[in-house]
Structure 1
Amino acid sequence: MTTTAPATGPRTSDDATTSTPVPPIALGAMLFGTRHDDAESFDLLDAYVEAGGVWIDTADCYAFWADDSGRGGQSEPVLGRWLAARPGMRDRVRIATKVGCEPLWPGSFPERTTGLGADLVRSVARQSLDRMGIDRIDLFWAHRDDRSTPLPEVVDGFGGLVADGVVGAWGFSNTALWRAERAAGLARARGLAEPTGLQLRYSYLQPRPMVRDHEHDHRFGWITDEVLDYAEANPAVGLWAYSPLMSGAYERADRPVPEGFDHPGTARRLAVLAAVAADLGVSRSEVVLAWLAGGTPRVSPVAGVSSLAQLGTAMAGVRLVLPPEARERLDAAW
């Protein structure tokens, strides 16, 4: 029997059996089953849980771009095999997965992908449960908006799964804020569970206004000041940030900051970030994660790591409590 996730917002790591409380941080399982084989994936998963981690984030489409088939579905079965090999582990972790970005055929992304029709959402949920060998998805994400499906149908699909006990909570990724708020209103009117999560890109550096995520075709894939204000006014809504460390750009010279971040504010923020990290004797990545996890509103990172060393950095970062003056310096650079 699996334990249930809360009806609203992310579950914190200190709700599970750990010796040291850890702010919410999800382990991104995107490349499990493609770049990482079972042995590597199991090592990362074991170390994450041992360090106090609770949330594991995946999707039905992971990782179609990294597999010769051009289709997804490799990550969830790895999690299923790991859970099967670790009796009792399901009670210690929370599983988040997504629907809505699987290519309709190899090479069709981003133009043609599965959407968010109610029947498809229910079908993919059952598929994900079967792949992972579980009876409940703790948090089910709409991977990106689907304007071809009426929003009431989207709400009925996800809300119905919550009502049936198949899903603990649901939310939106890569979706305009007004759509999420409208969905919440529709859910209330229908007596269904409201979306209580937003997963978008976010980091200490911010892109220029109107820059879009062309690589993934996610027009509304960013946490903006409006999103932060919305979350602060709606404490039941949890914010999750993917790509918080910008693929290593804070630490590695061979991983340059993307062109969309080329503006005077970036240089100013990088200088302050480096100074704060040096003063505290930690890495810049740790400072970024501490800034996210300890801010108001709190933003929970989704850490896609490729090594135990990277995982150690991520867990140390969310545990790090920034001195007030350090946070003030970081915020003032904005």
Structure 2
Amino acid sequence: MTRIGSSDLDVLPLSLGGNVFGWTADRDASFEVLDAFIDGGGDFIDTADSYSSWVPGNEGGESERIIGAWLASRKPSGVVVATKVSQHPEFRGLSAATVRRAAEASLARLGVDEIDLYYAHFDDETVPLEETVAAFGALVADGLVRHIAVSNYSADRIRAWVEIARRTGVAVPVAVQPHYNLVHRNEVEDTIIPVAEEFDLGLIPYYSLASGFLTGKYRSTDAAGQDSPRAQGAAKYATPAGLRIIDALEEIGDAHGASIAATSLAWLRAQPTVVAPIASARTVEQVPDLLAGARLELSADEVQLLDRVSEWTPTRA
């Protein structure tokens, strides 16, 4: 188990991404994935109020509703649920009123009395940061939220949030959620990890498997015939440099009897301040590899080999 920053939340070091629930996984498939995750020892679920508003016919909140129905049906103990605010079509931005109404709506969809971990999903610079910080602090003070966190914030804005919270005596963030993986490293390592270390924030990376590229499934930049946005996103990483990373992951994984995906998640877990990479599963068959990634321990030499082979950033090309 791993502690999330300065909080009292201890979790298996893997977070199950709920972005696919109500999108590429319907209610029944989502229930099966959640059951397999919990049965395998998982206890940390990540979602957002906006999932999956981008799907035609959806309005947002679909993932939270599915998770809420599953929680009501299974009544699991010790499960930590994280959700987010700022992108739901009805609750955009981070004004105090929006944050409060969005949190209440999420509580209703999830069917819980308190949100374990509540993120500001994206920064909203149209609202004074003092207002947003106070709004999140009030949610904690009123018992609607247990701990707060930020996602997709710059290091400067994270530092400013913490300083305002400390000065005003409200709850400080305990976690930060950035885009971070073996093919997207530099910005997080240069700016976010140092501020996380400074303020004892747990790092909970999303896109941990680079839209599936770091599973080894996509080994060509030719996305012809690929009918999913995920496949299109993964294919862009299948450059010679990207494939060298896959080859290294495969070699190290084979030595442990582990998959490429599990080895990639294990590398992330070995990075400073990282608590629990987020990875999603559309089917039950995908869950064991994710759980294996929460338990696989790489040697220092293996971590360094992956560090060396991944010293590039395709997004800056």
TM-score (norm 2): 0.85
72 and 300 in structure 1: CA distance in 2 versus 1, 3 angstrom threshold: same
Give 1:218's aligned residue.
none
Q: Distance in 2 between matches of 1:322 and 1:292?
A: 10
Q: Distance in 2 between matches of 1:314 and 1:258?
A: 18
The 5 A counterparts of 1:278-293 are 278-293=254-269
Q: Distance in 2 between matches of 1:37 and 1:268?
A: 35
Q: Where in structure 1 do 4 or more consecutive aligned residues deviate above 4 Å?
A: 256-265
184 and 252 in structure 1: CA distance in 2 versus 1, 3 angstrom threshold: same
Maintained 8 Å contact 1:25/1:301: yes
Shift of 1:258: 5.5
Higher relative contact order (CA closer than 8 Å, sequence separation 6+): 2
Q: Distance in 2 between matches of 1:136 and 1:319?
A: 29
Q: Choose the corresponding residue for 1:11, options 9, 12, 21.
A: 9
SS in 1 for 2:294: helix
Give 1:59's aligned residue.
48
SS in 2 for 1:169: strand
AA of the residue aligned to 1:230: V
AA of the residue aligned to 1:49: I
Give 2:314's aligned residue.
none
Q: Deviations over 1:214-243 (max 9, x none)?
A: xxxxxxxx6342212222333x30101111
Give 1:216's aligned residue.
none
Q: Distance in 2 between matches of 1:169 and 1:316?
A: 27
Give 1:165's aligned residue.
143
10 and 277 in structure 1: CA distance in 2 versus 1, 3 angstrom threshold: farther
Shift of 1:123: 0.8
188 and 30 in structure 1: CA distance in 2 versus 1, 3 angstrom threshold: same
Q: How many residues align?
A: 296
Q: Distance in 1 between matches of 2:110 and 2:68?
A: 4
252 and 101 in structure 1: CA distance in 2 versus 1, 3 angstrom threshold: same
SS in 2 for 1:96: strand
Shift of 1:9: 4.1
Q: Distance in 1 between matches of 2:166 and 2:61?
A: 33
Shift of 1:80: 1.5
AA of the residue aligned to 2:130: P
AA of the residue aligned to 1:36: A
Q: Distance in 2 between matches of 1:31 and 1:258?
A: 16
Give 2:60's aligned residue.
72
Q: Distance in 2 between matches of 1:238 and 1:198?
A: 6
SS in 2 for 1:201: coil
Q: Deviations over 1:49-76 (max 9, x none)?
A: 111111111111110112424x211111
293 and 95 in structure 1: CA distance in 2 versus 1, 3 angstrom threshold: same
AA of the residue aligned to 1:64: S
Maintained 8 Å contact 2:178/2:206: yes
The 5 A counterparts of 1:1-334 are 8-9=6-7, 11-13=9-11, 22=12, 24-69=13-58, 71-87=59-75, 89=76, 91-103=77-89, 114-206=92-184, 223-234=188-199, 236-250=200-214, 251-253=216-218, 255=231, 266-333=242-309, 334=311
Maintained 8 Å contact 2:20/2:281: no
Q: Deviations over 1:163-206 (max 9, x none)?
A: 11111111111111111110100000100011121111111122
Q: Distance in 2 between matches of 1:146 and 1:259?
A: 31
SS in 1 for 2:297: coil
Maintained 8 Å contact 1:202/1:243: yes
Q: Deviations over 1:277-313 (max 9, x none)?
A: 2333322111110111133232421111111121110
AA of the residue aligned to 2:201: V
SS in 2 for 1:59: coil
AA of the residue aligned to 1:225: D
Maintained 8 Å contact 2:5/2:175: no
Q: Distance in 2 between matches of 1:58 and 1:262?
A: 28
Maintained 8 Å contact 1:9/1:237: no
% identity of equivalent residues: 35
Shift of 1:102: 1.8
TM-score (norm 1): 0.81
Gaps of 5+ in 1: 14-21, 105-112, 210-221
Shift of 1:257: 6.7
Give 2:227's aligned residue.
none
Shift of 1:98: 0.6
AA of the residue aligned to 1:81: A
